[in-house]
Every structure is written in structure tokens, then in C-alpha cells.
A and B are shown apart, each in its own frame.
Chain A
Amino acid sequence: MTSSTTQQPAPEAPAINAAGGRVELRDLCKRYGNSQPPAVDHVDLDIEPGEFLTLLGPSGSGKTTTLNMIVGFAEPTSGAVRLNGRDITRTPPHKRNFGMVFQNYALFPHLTVAQNVAFPLRERKVPAAETARLVGEALELVDLAGMDDRRPHELSGGQQQRVALARAVVFSPSVLLLDEPLSALDRKLRQSLQREIKRLHDELGLTFVFVTHDQDEAMTLSDRIAIFDRGRIVALGTPADLYHRPTSRFVARFLGESTVFTGRRSAADVYEWLDRRWRVAAQAGEGDGQAVVVRPERLRVAADEASVPSGDNTADATVTDVSFYGTYHRIELAFGDGTVGCAVLPVGVPATVTPGTRVVAHWRPEDQVLVSE
């Protein structure tokens, strides 16, 4: 509450070199009206200084609401937001010194590129000469030097988003928030801007909080990913962790492809599925063992049981589709209980399977993960 009077001091010698801020979310809740389930439901999250953290989840999972509470556009129903240990829950957005990049660019249409980038500096009463230098630096940073006098509508979508990036970092914010910044761009542009954002993060050392529903984007960019489902964080970890060690069926399904078998864990090292008894390796996963997840690159197919290496877990399947993806073949499988799964085979391995073929799917016990429902 007192924070509204403690004005953020303007940087003494402005230069785009802010140190990353630490953001803590403590038991954050947001309800819209009483009847609906909460949009954000008891979220706890520590975002480390300089970290690239992604909030990933399907639409309506609460990730954007969480972002809006961090930046100050939405007021939490309960809980707290802290920046470097200071409570900023009730601080209005214009005093938080956070940069934000919006979906669809959101440039000021009545201002030129340079005026757009200078906007936050003018708010901070930065002297004109300093402003000019910083704007030039910021535009250089996003590869738009010399575009100063263009109007936003004269730029391509990718260029507009670069201007938005420059505008959001030029005043050395402690945190940069990005709300699905790439979703309006086409595939190619998206990839080049992903690299741009990654480079910006490496160069500036800022804390990045990135919201997306695109799992590939999250995997390539992030240091850590927080996966949202129905207002809660259901998993938090590095992309590799979450991919190889999903904790729940939802996480496994949402991040990458997988085959999920639903059976029963009958003993510490035994999992029963239909008539099969599978071995469970020591490092089985953190879940309580409701389901077994196998990633497609771990799943192999054999013509019959005889050609399966000993010790592998197996399941009978019918090939329903084979498609060629350039670097690999993707094979869709249907299992006896209706489970649908998939495997990928590197090109070069002669693809003898065709739709309709009956095969045996197999994998090493240590390659499977037991997850909760």
C-alpha cells in the first residue's frame, strides 16, 4: 500500500543495461465474479533474476491473468506480487517499471517509430540528447536502425513487433513481460523473432516472463516453463525436465507427443496393462503411477515378439497411419484397449510398416514415465 508513494527513481545514467529483477508470486488468486471458478487459483512462483520463464497453457488456463497481475493491469483477489522483495501488489502499472510486449504489436499509430520508442523515456523526463542516444541504441538492438521516421502502418508485422520490443526495453525495465508476442506472425517470421528474443535476453540480462500457448516456442526459448491448467501451475521445470519427466497425464499430453497407457500398478516394480505385466524401473517418475507415458522417439516397433530385445516392455498394436516428415517417419498406432499412440522412425531405417500392419510396440523400462492422472 505504501509503495504507491515510493516513486521509482529515474535511472541516473540511463543505458539499456538493467539488472534483472526477481519476481515472487505468493498465493496469488483472481476471481471474476463469485459463480465462476477462479481464473487464477493459489499460484506460487519465484522468478529468478535474469531468468527466461514461460507461462504455458491452453487458453483460459490463467496464464494471461497471471501476467496481468504481475504487470498491474489486474488486481489480485488475494495474494501478493513482490519485486526484489518489495510488495508491489497495489502499485499502479505505470510505477512498476516493467516492460511489456503485447500481441498484435500495439504501437501508437499516431507516433513515428522513434517517437514510439521514446515514449517511456519522455514519461521519465530523460533529457533529449540522452533520449536520442537510447532510442538509436534500442533500434540498433532490434536491427531497425534508420527506420526512425516511419509510421507503424508502414512497417511489416515483424518489424512492428521489433519496434514494440525496443520500446519495452529502452527504459531499462527490471522485467520484460511478453504476452503471446509472436502469435500474430507467420511461421517463418515467428522463428526469426524467436531467435531475436532469445538474443535480446542473452544480451540484456533482463528477467523475461513470456506467455504463450505454443509448446514448441516455450521449449526453444525458456530456461524454465510453468504449465498452467485451470488457474493452477501444474508443472514447473526446465524444458528437458518437463519433457522427459512429466508428472501428469496433462503435462505429458500438452508438452510434446506421447503415448499414454492407463493400467494399474500392482507392485513396486510391476505395472499391469491388459494382459501385460511391465517392469517398472527404479527411477519411474514422480507421479503416483496412474498412467504410463512413453515419448514417441523412445517407442519402437517390431514385426513380432521374437525380434524384441529382452527386458523391453511390449504392447500389441496396429499401424493406422504412416507419414513422412522429411527427417523422420511418424507412425500412428492403435492399441488393444483403444489407446492411440505414436512412434517416430528416422528416415533411412527402411520403413517396412504400412497401415494395417500388426506390430509389437516396445520400449526400455527406464524410458517410460509413470505419471498421475
Chain B
Amino acid sequence: MAAPTAAPPATADPPAGERAATGLLARAHAAGWLLLLPALVALLFLFVLPLLTVVIDSVTDPSLGLGNYASLFTDGYTLRVLGRTLLVGLVVAVVGVALAYPYAYAMTLVGPTMRGVLVTVVLVPFWTSMLARNFAWLVLMQDGGVIQSFLGLFGLGGVTLLGTTLAVGISMTQVLLPFLVLPMYSAMEQIDGRLVAAGQSLGAPRMRAFRRVYLPLSAPGVVAGMSLVFVLALGFYVTPALLGSTRSAMIAQVINVRAKELLDFGGAGAMGIFLLVVTLAVLGLSRRWAGQGGPAVAAGSPPARSRTGGEQASEVRPWLRVHTTIVGIVLVAPTLVVIPMSFSSAETFRFPPDGWSLRWYQELFTSPEWLAAIINSLQAGIYTALFATVLGTTAAFGLARLNRRWRGSMNAFLLSPMIVPHILVALVVFAAFLRLGLNGTLIGIILAHTAMALPFVVIAVTARLQGMDGRLTFVAASLGADPVSAFRRVTLPLVMPGILSGAVLAFVTSLDEVVIALFLQAPGAITLPVQMFNSVTVQIDPTISAASSLMVVLVSVPILLAQVVGGRRQRRSTR
């Protein structure tokens, strides 16, 4: 849910502040490291050391050597899974671009109101829990479901979708679509619309002008979005586990089985590390190709500003209208399935429901398992938000005090949990916490989620700090404010929106996280997404639809609140 984002460039300096502060630089550096220390230590113990043990396991367990890695490429089954995973990732990325590019393009053409609608439509999936969306696809694709009936109209009624790689691919594409639309939109938004007209005036027919001018200019966004989606797809666990079958397994499922059922940490580790290497290679290449610091888009961040100059909404061609509408429907469809489903009176996943009732809500709030899961999730979310916000905020303040070189590398380190595939994080944490006896405890889940959520807080707070005029603390001092008072009266109020949105993102990250929670689950430490996952895979329990709706509320309310509060503060504090 929470989108991995390109790091905001941590280089802009408040010039006057810098100039005035040079004398106090050494002291500032020391303070900076001190502020960074808690976050660095936390990441070291929660993330780096566990990762290292998995790396070591992968070359020592069961025997010293690269045997585990060799078997990745020699074992027929593993090879097929690997090939399938890469292929699905690639297809999802390519199909996703084909769907998302025109949509993002349409977003730049329409007027402000329509743009607001289109942005909201893209964000709706973010607000709908990952599990809820996959559950919706399960409902739609099941035998006798809406899609099968629809295909039946064309005489294709016998086609079974569920359990196939196609079903997995369709669902993954939908789940990942926002990650494509947002970076592409933010790249296209920078493009001066008149350039295509200029191309045409220079003699290029409309399509050729588009191809020769617009396409290259929007390429960085396409590359950024595609590579992001490709790497995210590689590590997908929930979708293939819910919608696929063992015959169409992807690598994350194999890692899960190896680690949890066979306790083969060497083999699982090798697969995880291989995933990480591919991820780093793809992201590295795309960064290189698309230029430094690709467009940064954070989940729940306000839609990018419309181009300056107040250009009018351009004409949107009919085919683009149709395409945009279809993509929009695909984006919101799961949410539109889940909510009515929760009011169904039937014991099945039939959609549309035959009758209406509140029984699943009643079940959700009375059954001990569901209730415990809700409470666990809220607890995990609140503690994660608390820890990640404290660590991330102090770290962001620390970063701002470092000199440029250290700031860049420390920033990259703090954000590193974002680019590691979730399945590998889950494996790493599982292996480490198993040794420490933290498995099966909520504390383990909270600690792992804290490491995952930390980057979002760092990004949000850093962005605010950089947006702040660095001289304001000097102004405060000149007006008689001692450093504590200056911090309390000037810095803190100005940075607060960043801290708040960081906290919200951390809460939402924890609330919606499934893979790690699935790995660490045990009686007494089952979060809501895990309970939902189990309710589909272990037994058929329609309470999941009520839970999904609850998740929509739990996720979207804090985001909306943060946007309203943030928006109000934003308006107040823009100069």
C-alpha cells in the first residue's frame, strides 16, 4: 500500500542559514549523529544484522559453498518458478504501462475538477487494503462469478480463471497500477504541453510530434514506474497465494514453503538474496537510465500542482476517454465489490449478493478470533506509528545537520528497507526472530513493521524540513528565542504536518502489511490481514468482506484526516 518512492534529494541548503551557521558546524554535526543514532541502531538490529545472517545462512546451510545458489539454476522446479516469476513481473509491467500511460496522459489534459476525480480514482486502491483487493478479485474470478458469467455471453463460459497465472497477472496488474500512473503523471506534468504543438508547427504530423517530443520527455516516468512495478511484482506473495495454485507458484511462495515448512533457511535465503540482487540491478539501471532522482510520488501525497500558466483543459479524444474510463473502473472495481459483499446475507462469496444483512459485521465484532485480530492490528499499527515516528523524526532532524556527503549515504541507508522485497524482509525477520524467540509475538511484528515504516517518516519529515526556510530559527534567535523556544515555537509547528503524515503512513503500512505478519503469525499474534488471509485459504468465511470494508475505513480515515489537516496547514504556510 505505502508506495516505495524515490528519495527526495537531500541536498538543498538554506543558503543564509548555512552561511551563518558555518561557525557552529562541528557542533551541529555531533548533534546530527546523536539524533541519527537511535534510528541507525534500530535499523542495524532489526534489519541489517538479520539480513547478514540470512546471507551467511545461504552460503553455509546445509553446507559451506554456493550450492544453494547453484541449485537456483539447476533445479528444474526452481528454475520454472523463477522463470514464471520474471515473466509475470515483465508482463505485468508492460501491460500496466499500456493501461496507465494513456490514463496518466489524460490526467494532464483534463481540467482541475476532472483531474481531482482521476487522482482520487488512482488513490482509491491505496486506501483499499491489499488483501481486500485480492479478495475482490477472488470473488470476481471464482467459478460462477461475474467475470465467468460475462465471458459466458461470448460462449466462453467454461473458462476457469482462478488458480491460473492469468488470474494472478490480472490481479497484480490492478494492484500495481497506481505505482505506474503516479510516477508517469508526475513526469508528464513537468512537460510543457505546447512542445507538441511546437513540434507540429515544425512540420511533424500530430502522432509523429507526439512520438518524437512527448514520448521521450515522459520516458523517465515510464522507466521509473515500470522498474518499480517489476521489482514489486517479483516479491509478490499474497496475490499468487490467494488467486494462483501450487502449480502456478511464484518465487515468494517457494521461499515461504522452504523457510516456514522445511526450515531450509539456506535455500530460502539464496532465493531471497537473488531477488534482492535483481531488484537492486533493475532499480540501479532505471535510475541510471531515467536520470538521477526519478519522480518522487508518495502514497497519499497531494496530487501534483497543475502546470503554471493556467492552461485550459485540452480536448480529450474519444478513444482516450473510453480508455481512461475503463482503467478508472478497473481501479475502483475491487473496492466497489468488497463493500456490497460485506452486507450480503449469504454464506458464500456470491456477487452480487442475493440478499442483505449485517450478519458479517456482527460476526466481525463478536467472534473472538476476529476481534482479537482487529485489536492486534490496531495495537501493532499504533505502536509501529509511535516507534517509527519517533525514530524517523529524530533521524530526519539528524540528517539535516550532517554535511552533504554523509547526508546522502545516511539517507540512502535509512530508506533501504523500502527497496528490499517484502518477502525477503519477512524471511530475514523470521529467521532472526526465531533465534531470539520473538516469533509468534506481537512485539516481533511491531519491530519488523517499524523497520518497514521508518523510511516513510524520514521522507515525510525531511521534505518538510527542506521546505522550511532555514533562516527562520536564526530569525527566532534574533527576536530573543533561546534554542528550545525557537524549536518549540517555530521549527516544530512548521514540521508538524510532515511528522503527522509520516505517522499516518507508518500506521497504514503496519495495518496493511501481510507478508511479514503471515511469517511471524502464531496464536495470539494474528493481525487482521492475516486473519483475512486465513479466512480465505483455510476456511471460507465471508466475514472477510466485512473486515475488508473495515480496513477501507481504517486506512482511508487517517489518510483523509492527514490530508485535510495537512492541506489546511499547507495553505497557511505556503509563502
Contacts and interface: CB of A to CB of B under 8 A. Distances in A.
B574 A153 contact: yes
B299 to A, nearest CB: 25
A122 B572 CA distance: 21
15 contacts: A32-B22, A64-B19, A74-B20, A75-B23, A75-B24, A94-B477, A94-B478, A94-B479, A95-B480, A97-B480, A100-B479, A109-B469, A109-B494, A123-B479, A123-B480
A143 B482 CA distance: 30
Interface in A94-117: 94-95, 97-100, 102-104, 106, 108-110
Q: Give the interface residue-count category, chain B.
A: 20 to 34
A106 B473 CA distance: 10
A68 B24 CA distance: 12
Contacts of A100: 475, 478-479
A171 B20 contact: no
B16 interface: yes
A361 interface: no
Contacts of B478: 71, 73, 93-94, 98-100, 168, 177
B52 interface: no
Contacts, number: 93
B404 interface: no
Contacts of B477: 72-73, 92-94
Given A93-B474, A100-B475, 16 more contacts: A73-B21, A73-B478, A75-B24, A92-B477, A94-B477, A98-B478, A100-B478, A100-B479, A106-B472, A109-B469, A109-B575, A119-B481, A124-B480, A151-B572, A153-B573, A153-B575
Contacts of A171: 479-480
B476 interface: yes
Interface of B: 16, 19-24, 469, 471-472, 474-483, 485-486, 489-490, 493-494, 569, 572-575
Contacts of A74: 20, 22-23
Contact of A109 (B23, B483, B485, B573): B573
Given A120-B479, A153-B574, A108 B490 contact: yes
A167 interface: yes
B475 A106 contact: yes
User: Which of B19, B21, B23, B483: most chain A Cβ within 10 A?
Assistant: B23
A152 interface: yes
User: Which of A65, A68, A152, A177: most chain B Cβ within 10 A?
Assistant: A68
B481 A94 contact: yes
A110 B565 CA distance: 13
A26 B166 CA distance: 81
Contacts of B479: 94, 99-100, 119-120, 123, 167-168, 171
B20 A73 contact: yes
Interface string A172-183: 000001010000
A177 B477 CA distance: 13
A74 B18 CA distance: 11
A152 to B, nearest CB: 6
- DSSP class of B's interface residues: helix, strand, loop or mixed? helix
- DSSP class of A's interface residues: helix, strand, loop or mixed? mixed
A38 to B, nearest CB: 13
B207 to A, nearest CB: 43
A112 B376 CA distance: 43
A109 B572 contact: yes
A31 B353 CA distance: 78
Contacts of B21: 73
B572 A94 contact: no
A95 B486 CA distance: 13
A320 B19 CA distance: 43
Contacts of A123: 479-481, 485
Interface string A121-163: 0111000000000000000000000000001110000000000
B494 A110 contact: yes
A54 to B, nearest CB: 19
Contacts of A104: 469
Interface in A158-204: 167-168, 171, 177, 179
Nearest to B569: A110
Contacts of A152: 575
A292 to B, nearest CB: 38
A110 B494 CA distance: 7
Contacts of B22: 32, 74
A284 to B, nearest CB: 41
A106 B481 contact: no
A65 B569 CA distance: 34
B12 to A, nearest CB: 15
Contacts of B569: 110
Contact of A102 (B23, B475, B480, B572): B475
B13 to A, nearest CB: 15
Nearest to A8: B480
User: Which of B21, B475, B489, B573: most chain A Cβ within 10 A?
Assistant: B475
A300 B402 CA distance: 60
A327 B20 CA distance: 43
Contacts of B493: 110
A106 B469 contact: yes
Contacts of A120: 479-481
Contact of A108 (B20, B472, B482, B574): B472
A235 B573 CA distance: 43
A44 B19 CA distance: 22
A149 to B, nearest CB: 12
User: Which of B22, B472, B479: most chain A Cβ within 10 A?
Assistant: B479
Contacts of B475: 100, 102, 106, 108
A106 B471 CA distance: 7
Contacts of A108: 472, 475-476, 490, 494
A120 B471 CA distance: 16
A314 to B, nearest CB: 49
A102 B481 contact: no
Nearest to B471: A106
Contacts of B16: 102-103, 179
A5 to B, nearest CB: 13
Contacts of B483: 94
User: Which of A71, A100, A104, A109: most chain B Cβ within 10 A?
Assistant: A109
Contacts of B481: 94, 119-120, 123
Nearest to B468: A109
A4 to B, nearest CB: 11
A225 B448 CA distance: 63
Contacts of A124: 480
A92 B474 CA distance: 11
Contacts of B575: 109, 152-153
